[in-house]
Amino acid sequence: MSLLEVHELSKVYGEGAAATPAISELTFAVEEREFVCVIGPSGCGKTTLLRCVAGLLAPTAGSVVLRGKRVARPPDEMALVFQEYNRSLFPWMTARQNVAFPLRRKRLGKQGAARAETALDEVGLGRFVDHYPWQLSGGMQQRVAIARALAYQPSVLLMDEPFASVDAQTRADLEDLILQLRQRFGVTVVFVTHDIDEAVYLGDRIVVLTRAPGRIRETVLVGLPEPRDQIETKALAEFTRLRTHVNRVIKQEAARQPASPDAQGS
């Protein structure tokens, strides 16, 4: 039995004439400590998939099973980093308060604030703990949201394009931070991204989705050696091969259906 099983998962938004199928009969499993990247064109249902897995959205059909138990509401051991990071931070709380917010329920007392500060330090925001989200840049806000998920110490971490608004260097640092974290705590990660290089660099496996409504187009095993290194790993011939392969699959997928105006996505 896998840690996380997604079984024939479908989600249709709306009803009747307005019905929009977002994902369609997705089936895959995630093993304990595995790092799975989900990649696919804009609008193919990646966020929908994560919200169903997180127990925030009831699927139209199919199921999500965590440790043998069907997910019907958000499980305690999961944390989700939202794509709309700026809206998921509370503007009336400082960065520290935002990060400590989910820790209230863990009854850590003083330790909670300390953990929040450590997490903010790790994402490079140690000097901004007392700033409000609106006093921070987009990329910094995104890092606060990441710090909040890290401080929560989930066993399953779901991330929805978490590095979309940070610069290349910060992005590389954050990628390595997440990898380290998995090394240290054995976190299982489901990671949505648009970036092929990122998916290959981070993932043990890459799930490539089709255009909307999302189905699994192909699952790519990434056998790159651990630990990964921004320079060494990306210089490997195998890295280039995987990246070309994923790129080709995505190109073929885009060409498979008649092009629609938003087919290029981002």
Ligand X SMILES: Nc1ncnc2c1ncn2[C@@H]1O[C@H](COP(=O)(O)OP(=O)(O)OP(=O)(O)O)[C@@H](O)[C@H]1O
Residues 43-72 that bind Mg ion (CB under 5 A): 47
Q: Does 14 bind ligand X (CB under 6 A)?
A: yes
Count of residues touching ligand X (by CB under 6 A):
13
Stretch that binds Mg ion, among 2-10, 80-88, 106-114, 252-260 (CB under 5 A): 80-88
51 binds other proteins (CB under 8 A): yes
For 216-227, letters b (16+ CB in 10 Å) and e give bbeebebebeee
Closer residue to ligand X, CB minimum distance, 195 or 229: 195
- 218 touches other proteins (CB under 8 A): no
We find the least distance from the C-beta atom of residue 77 to other proteins, in angstroms, to be 10
What are the φ/ψ torsions at residue 65 (nearest 5 degrees)? -125, 125
Does 83 sit near ligand X (CB under 6 A)?
A: yes
Residue 211 DSSP SS3: coil
Q: Give the angle subtended at the CA of 81 by the CAs of 79 and 82, to the nearest 5°.
A: 130
Binding flag, residue 157, ligand X (CB under 6 A): no
The residue range among 27-35, 80-88, 172-180, 192-200 that interacts with other proteins, by the rule CB under 8 A, is 80-88
Residues 6 or more apart from 175 whose CB is under 8 A from it?
Answer: 163, 198, 201, 202, 230
Q: Which residues pair with 20 in a beta bridge?
A: 13
Please list, residue by residue across 61-74, b when 16 or more beta carbons sit within 10 angstroms of its beta carbon and e when fewer do.
ebebbbeeeebeee
* SS3 of residue 180 by DSSP: helix
CA separation for the pair 45, 53 (Å, rounded):
12
Question: Which residue, 112 or 196, is less far from other proteins as judged by CB?
Answer: 112
Bond preceding residue 133 cis, omega within 30 of 0: no
Q: Is 42 in the site for ligand X (CB under 6 A)?
A: yes
Q: Does 43 bind ligand X (CB under 6 A)?
A: yes
45 near ligand X (CB under 6 A): yes
Strand 4-13 versus strand 20-30 pairing type = antiparallel
CB 59 within 8 A of CB 65: no
CB of residue 83 vs Mg ion: minimum separation in angstroms?
5
Residue with Cβ nearer ligand X (81 or 103): 81
Mark residues 83-102: x for contact with other proteins by CB under 8 A, - for none: -x--xx-xxx--------xx
Nearer to ligand X among residue 44 and residue 140 (C-beta): 44
Tokens of 258: 């008649």
Q: In the complex, which residues of this chain contact ligand X (CB under 6 A)?
A: 13-14, 20, 22, 42-48, 83, 212
Q: In the complex, which residues of this chain contact other proteins (CB under 8 A)?
A: 51, 54-56, 73-74, 76, 78-80, 82, 84, 87-88, 90-92, 101-102, 105, 132, 134, 152
